[in-house]
Copies of this chain bind each other. A is one copy, B any other.
Amino acid sequence: MGVKERRDRERLGMRRAILDAAREIAAHEGWHAVTIRRIAEVIEYSPPTIYEYFPSKEALLVEVSHEAFGLLLGDLRGARDATPDPRERLRSMVAAYWAFVWKHPELYQVISGLGGVNVCEPGDECLHTEGTQVAELFREVLQTILPPANRTAEDLENKVMVIWSLFHGFTALLMAGRIPMEARDRALELGQQALGDLVSAW
């Protein structure tokens, strides 16, 4: 009998609705506006119902973060597979990263602790795996670019951090209003240029 299956499907659908509602509110009004009662209103259920599907608001946001990381990783892999040339691959992946940030600012905020969200404390294992995967993708492509002498594991890891920091830094400063938004479109180009300079030096 498929009753259990249907129930599972319904539970899954409800989770989906809750997650989507949270994301939608965040997209339109920012994460500060994402409250349990507001989500409940959107999905047309009472607030406590949400706790039948997530143990806490924190857990809900962690789930959103996991899904967001999934999307980002997908985009990065797509960009990687779009061209076989190593340098072009790196450019493409960086462009995809940048595109993701500004296509889904609210998702980028929740996975990187921007915009006043901060889902896992630093030191928590929470999203460590996903962070590692992003780094891994850049590590792989860098390995095919750098001269063999500079390909020790630590060397690659260091260089990935530099690249990631550069673009995340741009994003964070822009989103925090510390750099004016007019600079946004320029930033990708600047970053790519700097990246090229760095790769040449490595």
Contact = CB atoms under 8 A, between A and B. Distances in A.
Interface of A: 30, 32, 112-118, 120-124, 126-128, 131, 157-158, 161-162, 164-170, 172-181, 183, 186-187, 190-191, 194, 197-198, 200-202
B181 A122 contact: yes
Copies of chain A in the complex = 2
Contacts of A186: 158
20 contacts: A113-B177, A114-B172, A115-B118, A122-B175, A127-B178, A131-B177, A131-B178, A157-B183, A161-B173, A164-B169, A164-B173, A164-B179, A165-B173, A165-B191, A166-B166, A167-B169, A169-B169, A172-B172, A197-B198, A197-B201
Contacts of A175: 113, 122
A202 B201 CA distance: 12
A186 B29 CA distance: 38
